[in-house]
Structure 1
Amino acid sequence: MAWQGKIAGRRPRPTMTNDDIQLLYEYDRWANNRVLQAASTLSAEEFTRDLGGSFRSVRDTLVHIVRSEEGWLTCWKEPSPSSTFVMDFWARHHSLFDPAEFPDLAAVRRKWAEVEKEQIQFVNRVTHQSLGDSLGQPPNQSPSQPPRQPLTRMLPVRKTQISLTHLMQHLANHSTYHRGQVALMMRQLAAEPLATDFAMFLMEGHQTK
Structure 2
Amino acid sequence: MTNYPVTMYNYHTWANQTILGRIKELPPAVLSQEVNSSFPTVAHALSHLYAVDTMWYQVLTGTGMPEALQASMPLNARILSTVDEYADAFSELSERMDVWLRSEPDLEQAILLDNPFAGLRQTRLSEIVLHLVNHGTYHRGNVSTMLRQMGHASVMQDYALFWYQQQSEAAAGSHGD
- TM-score, normalised to structure 2, is 0.84
Aligned-residue Cα RMSD (Å) equals 2.3
The percent identity for this pair of structures is 21
User: What is the CA deviation profile of residues 125-170 of structure 1, one whole-angstrom value per residue up to 9, with x for unaligned ones?
Assistant: 233xx3232232xxxxxxxxxxxxxx51x44211222221111111
Aligned-pair distance for 1:86? 4.6
Aligned length: 169
Larger radius of gyration: 1
Of 116, 131, 148 in structure 2, the residue corresponding to residue 170 of structure 1 is 131
Following superposition of structure 1 onto structure 2, how do residues 148-163 of structure 1 map, counting pairs within 5 Å? Answer: 151-152=113-114, 154-163=115-124
Per the alignment, residue 105 of structure 1 pairs with: 83
Where does 1:1-209 land on structure 2 (aligned, <5 Å)?
A: 19-78=3-62, 81=64, 86-87=66-67, 89-100=68-79, 102-127=80-105, 130-136=106-112, 151-152=113-114, 154-206=115-167
Cα–Cα, structure 1 residues 20 and 92, in superposed 2: closer, same or farther, change >3 Å?
closer
Check the 8 A contact 1:18/1:126 in 2, yes or no: no
Q: Which runs of 5+ in 2 are unaligned?
A: 171-177
Question: TM-score normalised to the size of structure 1?
Answer: 0.72
- Rate the CA distance shift 1:111–1:54 in 2: closer, same or farther, 3 A: same
User: In 1, distance between residues paired with 2:3 and 2:17?
Assistant: 21
Instruction: Give the strand-richer structure, 1 or 2.
Output: 2
